[in-house]
Every structure is written in C-alpha cells, then in structure tokens.
Amino acid sequence: MIVLLTLAATAIAIIFRHALLRWRYRARARSLGCQPIRYYPHWDPVFGTDVLFGTIINMLLKRKPPQNVFWDEPPYGKTYATLNQGRDWITTVEPENIEAIFGKAVSLTGDDGIKGSRTEEVWGNAPLRSVMEPFCGKGFITTDGKEWQHYRNLLKPSFVKANVSEMSWFKAAASDFVANLPKNNQTVDMSQRLDQFFLNVSLNFLLGIRKEQESTAMDQLAVEEFLQAFHEAEMGAGMRVFFGRLGPLLPRKKWMQVCEKVHSFVDGRVRQAMQSQQPYPPSAKPIKSLLHNLTTQTSDVQEIRSQVIHGIMASQDTTSVLLSNTIFLLSRHAWAWDHLRSEIKGIPPEYWTFEALLNFKPVRNILFETLRLYPVFRILGRQALQDTVIPLGGGKSGTHPVFVARGSSVAANIFPLHRNKHIFGEDVGSFRPARWEAIRPKRWEFLPFGGGQRQCVGKDKALAEASYMLVLLASQLTAIQSRDDRDWTPQVKLTVRNANGSLVALG
C-alpha cells in the first residue's frame, strides 16, 4: 500500500512539475512573440511514451520505421513537435529553421534576458551524447564549443587534401573488388559486399590496418573480434542516447565488457604506432592514417583511442550505403547506366585524379540524385543549450516563431527536405540525375553532409571514392540488372539503408 501511495505521489509531483514548466514556457514564448507549435497526436500527451514504446516495439520486431518517420511532408505541417520523455522534439523542413540550428542562431539578446546568440552556445550535442562516453570517450561527436574545436583540430591533418587525395591504395583495392565480382548473371547483394569493402577502407584510413597484410590468422581474428565488439558496444551507446533519462536503467555489465574489448584492441594499436616512432613508411606514398597523425599530436593514449573510435563511428556505413543505393537505382534505370557508360567511354584510367573525380558531372549528378532520394542520414539535430527560438512553425499558418526551451531538440527532417517540389521540380519522387544541370539548391535546402561548423569533414573523400568505384563498375561491366522487385524499404538505424540490400545480376 505504501509503495502504491509513493508511486502515485511521485507521478502527481512529476505531472505537476511538468504542467508548471509548460505554463512558464508559454509565458516566455508570448513575451518573445512566439506562437504554439503543432504536436504529433500523442496518446500520452504528457511524456509521449506512445512514440517511445512504439519505436521500441518496431525495432524489436524489425518492422517498419517508427510512426513519426516521414518520407514526404508530414501531415502535421513543415514543423511540428513530438514529445520525448516530456521534452519537445521538433522536426522541421523549413530551411530558415535549419539555418537557425546549424548556421546562425536567432539572436535574442536584449530585454528578454536571454544572453548569448552564437550558434555553438545555443545549440549542441553534448547533453544528449555524453552518455556514450564509457564507450567512445570524449571526441568531436560527444562535445560542444571549445572542447569540440579541440577534437576537430586533431582530425585536421588526416583530412587535408594532400592526404585524402592520395588514392593509390584505394584504386588498387577497388580494382580487386570489381575483378572479384561474379559476372555470370547470378544474384549478388552489392550492399553486403560494399559494406565489407568500405569497412576495410575505413580500417586503413583510421588505424592503418590493411586486412590483407595482417601477418597471421591470429591477427585477422583479433580484427574480426574487435569489429564484433565494436558493433555491440556502439549499439549499447546508441540505446543509451535513445533512452535518454531512462538510460541508467539499462544493464551495464555486458556493455562495459564489450567496451573494454574495444579499448584494449585500439590501445594495443596506439602503443604499437607510438613505439614504432618511425616516419611513415615511404613506400608507394601511402595515405597517413588518423592513428598515425594523432600520435604526432598527442601522447595521451586514451585521447587517441577516443578519436579513433569517434572516427569509426562517423565513417562506417556511409559511403557503402550511398553506393548500394546508387546501384539499386541504376539497376532499375538502364538508360542512366547506359548514359554513364557512354560518358566515360574512352577516358583513360590516369584521367581519374581526385579533382577529376569530384568534378565529373555525369557521376556527380548520379551521386547527388541518390543522396537526394535516399539521404544516408534521416535526421540531423541539435539540442537547445539555452532557451531560444526558431523562426517558423508557430501558429495555425506555421509562419510565426516557435519558442524552444532549453533541453528541447530540433532536427532537420532530411527526406521531406529533399523532396520539396519548389526546389527540385514536380517529379521529386523520380530518379533523374539530369535535374542537377538545372537546379541550384541553396545552402540549407540540400543537406546530405550536414551544414555549418560541424558538417562532414569526410565529404570529398567519400565522394571521390564513391565516384571512382562507379567509374570502375561502369567501365568494366556491361550491365547491372535488378533482381528484386520490392520498393526501397527503409531500415532505420544510425544511417538509413534499404532493408532488402541491393540485389543485382552483373554482366
């Protein structure tokens, strides 16, 4: 009985506090000239547990994406709020709002008493993501402001053009990859093969690991075990971000064990790299790994380990997902494949430098069109670090500013953003790479690589590698035919991919 009474009293206290906060927010919003935002029609309008549990059930049953995921403009308007554990989670497709969270925060200094309007003081990731730190430590994903700047600076030497444009190892590995593809009309899942290939590319770029050069079977096994532990540890970290304030209720022991496995593997590699103390081997101008570049900047093993783990998290399943989607689309649009083949015909292999790859329009148009239709990241968000405002979404018309309380989040809804008919044309649902000859989306209207200070630092590397792979496939294969008549079906994790892979026959 006492337990029940305590529970009831706690629930009443929480609801009362919630109502009080909402009342305070409404007063604050009015003083800032804001109007109410439209809400997702929750069954639980206090904490939004219906969406939380709906998402969990969907994830467990591996069914469709959660009910608040939209590919076209949501029925609640361009900007609307969902409740996540009592806090507002606002999604928007308005470029002005997106600019306010990534580019330049709305300035609120003055009589309203809200200080500081620099974007990095207003919007951040750290409050949501710091729960991941037992796995990945501190780095550019989990920090904000000056701390973030420090970690981003550590990445710089690895991403300078001289380093990422050195593609000789990549080109040789890509040639092997294409040469080993079965070309006898059997069904191949290109998505699995590309995942494996780009995992090796990442391991080379980040840790200097070339799996084919790992000297013994034991070494290779250690890499496999590391990857397995990494996957589990990252899942645990993701669950903690997802569950937010309920995260501490999740079991911790198993998670810590896999985190330790990851740490001990990376630490071993860090010490090896530090002990070798040699300049990078001069043979064949290899790309300098992130690990190597970090050891020249700091001797703090833990700091290096964390940056390597962050690097793996940021780059995995990105270029491979883009290319599997591209192949999915090309296998269903034979005219686009034939056009690509005719455009590259007769171009000698030495033409394909880093710059040429990035500037070759027929390939660029195909990749941009794929990223428009199937962006690798579904939403890009930030949490409000202080009370602030976004310019649009308030009132019945959605044209008034909206108050965003500290602790609420705002996210750009990338799928509907990329399907805006006013920007991309009436046929937004069609694959038509040539549209990129005519359209010029503005900065906050096309965001496959994010925007503002924290936009993707691996963009050129990813696009050059994806372009090269596409050129190679088009020059060495005559046909790519789809072996799957199902629609592209989103599988939502950190990235979004086609749940059915990319099933094709190659000729």
The residues of the shown chain that bind ligand HEM, judged by CB under 6 A, are 140, 152, 155, 205, 314-315, 318-319, 322, 376-377, 380, 448-450, 454-458, 461-462
CB of 253 to ligand HEM, least distance (A): 30
Q: CB–CB of 223/203 below 8 Å?
A: yes
The whole-angstrom separation of Cα 180 and Cα 161 is: 30
Minimum CB separation of residue 357 from ligand HEM in Å reads 14
Residue with smaller CB distance to ligand HEM, 315 or 498: 315
DSSP string, 76-91: T-SEEEEEETTEEEEE
Radius of gyration for the chain, computed over Cα atoms and rounded to the nearest angstrom: 24
Q: Give the C-alpha separation, 51 to 338, whole Å.
A: 45
Candidates 362, 355, 384; CA nearest to 88 is 384
Q: Which is nearer to ligand HEM, 240 or 310 (CB)?
A: 310
CB of 314 to ligand HEM, least distance (A): 4
Q: Which residues contact 231 (CB under 8 A, 6 or more apart)?
A: none
| Shortest spacing between CB 114 and ligand HEM, in angstroms | 24
Evaluate whether 187 touches 503 at the Cβ level (below 8 Å).
Answer: yes
- Minimum Å distance from CB 149 to ligand HEM? 9
State the nearest-atom distance from the C-beta of 152 to ligand HEM, in Å.
5
Phi-psi region of 87 (alpha: psi -120 to 50; beta: other; left: phi over 0): beta
What three-state secondary structure class fits 184?
Answer: coil
Q: Among 166, 199, 170, which Cα is nearest to 465's?
A: 170
Between the CA of residue 224 and those of 29, 170, 203, 218, 313, what are the distances in Å?
53, 21, 12, 10, 16
Percentages of the chain per state (helix, strand, coil), in multiples of 5: 55, 10, 35
Please identify, using beta-carbon distances, which residue of 336 and 469 lies nearer to ligand HEM. Answer: 469
Measured in degrees and rounded to the nearest 5, phi and psi for residue 268 equal -60, -45
Of 86 and 452, which CB lies nearer to ligand HEM in the complex structure? 452
Least spacing, CB of residue 376 vs ligand HEM, in Å: 4
The answer to whether 491 and 497 are in contact (CB under 8 A) is yes
Shorter beta-carbon distance to ligand HEM: residue 84 or 202: 202
Which residue of this chain has its Cβ atom nearest to ligand HEM in the complex? 458
| HEC secondary structure over 97-153 | HHHHHHHCCCCCCCCCCCCCCCHHHHEECHHHHHHHHHHHCCCCCCCCHHHHHHHHH
CB of 300 to ligand HEM, least distance (A): 19
Say how many residues make up the chain. 507
Q: How far is the CB of 316 from ligand HEM (least distance, A)?
A: 9
Burial class of residue 19, CB neighbours in 10 A (0-12, 13-18, 19+): exposed
**Least Cβ distance, residue 420 to ligand HEM (angstroms):** 18
Q: How far is the CB of 456 from ligand HEM (least distance, A)?
A: 3
Query: Considering beta carbons, is residue 105 or 155 the nearer one to ligand HEM?
Result: 155
Nearer to ligand HEM, 48 or 451 (CB): 451
Can you tell me the distance from the alpha carbon of 299 to that of 204, in angstroms, rounded to the nearest whole number? 21
Q: Which is nearer to ligand HEM, 106 or 314 (CB)?
A: 314
For ligand HEM, the closer of residues 83 and 101 by Cβ is 101
Q: Of 51 and 496, which CB lies nearer to ligand HEM in the complex structure?
A: 496
